[in-house]
Structure 1
Amino acid sequence: MGNASSMLTQYDIEEVQEHCHYLFSQQEIVSLYKRFCQLDRSAKGFISADEFLSIPEFSLNPLSQRLLKMVDGLNFKDFVAFLSAFSPKATLEKKIELIFRVYDVESKGKVGFKDLLEVLRDLTGSFMSEEQREKVLSHLLEEAGYTRNSSLLLDDFIKILGKSGMKMEVEVPVD
């Protein structure tokens, strides 16, 4: 499995399934492996930031630079584990954990007002002024029972977003 051009064995498939908590079927893992090999153009066994940016949906994502820090250099097993948060079978907590990691770009285990503001800036671009962003964010935090000085932990994200009923799913095409 180390060489991207090699084929997956049944053992490899089962190992990847276990690593991603069985959120993908064996067929889906085989399909993901084919896609991984297409992205790993130099057959190094991992996907670089440039290779991730070759995915139009990824490169157009306003949070792509934050996501790149999470995915640059992933081998196949970790690539599938990363994508498992987008599986329809993934728990809401697993999805929220990924969102938390996007906000916690420095891996401090907490997210502050500045971190939230940076993501909002990435998402809104020139459509909102800095003053508008700060006002909106302060209001949202107050509604959730927090202040600008609060540091949010993963449990806080789960508490806040757990009520949202959000969907974060990607369908894996199976050949």
Structure 2
Amino acid sequence: MGSGRSHLEQEPELDSIEEETGFSRANLDRLHHRFRALDRNNKGYLNRMDLHSIKELDMNPLGDRIINSFFPDGGQCVDFRGFVRVLAHFRPVKENRDDNNPHKPEPLNSRNNKLRFAFQLYDLDCDGKISKKEMLQVLRLMVGVQVTEEQLEIIADRTVQEADEDGDGAVSFLEFSKSLEKMNVEHKMSIRILK
């Protein structure tokens, strides 16, 4: 009735994927169909070009940075588990979750993990800090030619200065989190179809 890896139930460690990502079986089934559609060569994994074929991602000014997040160790391919693991960061936060188990890892879609994901989009050299230069690079991607280079430099400088509490000229994750305290990150970094 189809090729060997055509059904979600044939994915290894499916129960573990469901628990780790928080996706329901129905959502995993939809994502698996999407994964298979992107995997045009039926390899069982996606490469960067496969992800660039997602129109919304390819058009996003931070698309390359988001695509890089699918390959955290510099790898060249991502399997289904890695694919849904990244997407889980964009799953809306459910109210009334069972948070009583201290041994259960923090959900991938928690505020803290959403902030870490966003932070990594800015931290281009992965040194744990966002420098003015990195802020400037991301701003260039986001605004394109609509703003002059001088205006971008002022915005980048001011943004880093406002968030940089320890005066080291860069923004740490803690400073980044603090600067976004009042922002509804849970809502802004959620895609409703990923419930």
TM-score (norm 1): 0.85
Q: Is contact 1:48-1:74 (8 Å) kept? A: yes
Pairing 1:150–2:169 present = yes
Q: Which amino acid aligns with 2:83?
A: F
Q: Is contact 2:160-2:170 (8 Å) kept? A: no
Given candidates 135, 145, 149, the residue that maps to 1:130 is 149
In structure 2, C-alpha distance between the alignment counterparts of 1:168 and 1:124, rounded to whole Å: 19
Q: Is contact 1:4-1:37 (8 Å) kept? A: no
Pairing 1:8–2:8 present = yes
Q: Which amino acid aligns with 1:78?
A: G
CA 121–4 in structure 1, closer or farther in 2 if over 3 Å, else same:
farther
Provide, for residues 62-86 of structure 1, a one-character-per-residue CA deviation record: whole Å limited to 9, x for no partner.
1112222222522111111101110
User: What is residue 57 of structure 2 aligned with on the other side?
Assistant: 58
Pairing 1:38–2:19 present = no
Unaligned runs of 5+ residues in structure 2 are: 72-76, 94-108
CA 155–148 in structure 1, closer or farther in 2 if over 3 Å, else same:
closer
In the TM superposition, residue 173 of structure 1 has moved relative to its aligned partner by 6.9
SS state at 1:74 partner: coil
Q: Is contact 1:13-1:30 (8 Å) kept? A: no
Deviates more, 1:130-139 or 1:7-16: 7-16
In the TM superposition, residue 91 of structure 1 has moved relative to its aligned partner by 1.8
Q: Is contact 2:123-2:134 (8 Å) kept? A: yes
Deviates more, 1:162-171 or 1:35-44: 162-171
User: What is residue 71 of structure 1 aligned with on the other side?
Assistant: 70
Unaligned runs of 5+ residues in structure 1 are: none
Pairing 1:25–2:24 present = yes
Q: Is contact 1:17-1:29 (8 Å) kept? A: yes
Q: Which amino acid aligns with 1:5?
A: R
User: What is residue 168 of structure 1 aligned with on the other side?
Assistant: 189
Given candidates 88, 96, 110, the residue that maps to 1:91 is 110
In structure 1, C-alpha distance between the alignment counterparts of 2:122 and 2:178, rounded to whole Å: 16
SS state at 1:111 partner: strand
Q: Which amino acid aligns with 1:111?
A: I
TM-score (norm 2): 0.77
In structure 1, C-alpha distance between the alignment counterparts of 2:182 and 2:194, rounded to whole Å: 30
In structure 1, C-alpha distance between the alignment counterparts of 2:47 and 2:133, rounded to whole Å: 28
SS state at 1:57 partner: helix
When the two chains are superposed, the root-mean-square deviation of aligned CA atoms in Å is 2.4
Deviates more, 1:148-157 or 1:63-72: 148-157
Aligned residues: 170
